Chains A and B, each alone.
Chain A
């Protein structure tokens, strides 16, 4: 059974950093692109980052480029999102997702609140 379990969320002050993790199981992690998607409270979905199978290629929207870094450890079947210079508008539930073009499996999400 495919499982994606996010962790690392919480309350953080504006300008500070936070690192999210996603533990994958039930599939060969190294064979798949992976992504982070977020959802602000009562809002729609927003793509945040994607990483290639080896980690050599990463993709970001302008809203987080230069502040967020996606990475992976294939030996540990783990995906990460390093978030720096956090802003109040980064407050959201963050989901990791497996990519096959579309996103076929999603984690349960982890909440990040940016507030002083």
Chain B
């Protein structure tokens, strides 16, 4: 099974700050990586697909990048509504696996 190691597990940042969350895949998954945001009591929402493509309706301050088997989600100019838990997902091969999540809070 492909392991997705996500870091950090939690993060506290200030408004307007730049935030970066990373996922390390245990093997090559190409661009079969997506990012999700989940707010308390709500279902996850797709932010980034294909490692770097912004999902429809997602603010442009969100971006995804890839370097080998390391994937990053970057939030430029953090806003209040960006708090929540973020997950990466690899859908290169079954079993599809999520990272452990990053809880993002405002400082």
Interface of B is mostly: loop
Q: Contacts A45-B44, A59-B94: A102 and B100 contacting too (C-beta < 8 A)?
A: no
Kindly supply a per-residue 1/0 record for chain A positions 105-116, scoring 1 wherever the CB is within 8 Å of any chain B CB and 0 otherwise: 111110000000
Number of interface residues of B (CB under 8 A): 24
Give the residues in chain B near A108, CB-CB below 8 Å.
Answer: 42-43
B43 touches A107 (CB 8 A): yes
Residue of A nearest to B35 (CB): A102
Contact flags A94-111 to B (C-beta < 8 A → 1, else 0): 010000111111111100
Residues B89 and A103 in contact, CB atoms below 8 Å apart? yes
Q: Say what secondary structure dominates the interface of chain A.
A: strand
| Binary per-residue interface labels of chain B (13-31) against chain A in the complex, 1 for a CB within 8 Å, 0 otherwise | 0000000000000000000
**Size bracket, chain A contacts:** 20 to 34
User: Which residue of chain A lies nearest to B99 when distances are taken between CB atoms in the complex?
Assistant: A44
**Interface residue ranges, B against A (CB under 8 Å):** 32, 34, 36, 38, 42-46, 49-50, 55-56, 87, 89, 91, 94-101
* 21 residue pairs A–B, Cβ–Cβ below 8 Å: A44-B98, A44-B100, A44-B101, A45-B38, A45-B101, A46-B98, A50-B96, A59-B94, A59-B95, A62-B95, A95-B44, A101-B32, A101-B34, A102-B49, A102-B50, A102-B55, A102-B91, A103-B34, A103-B36, A103-B89, A105-B46
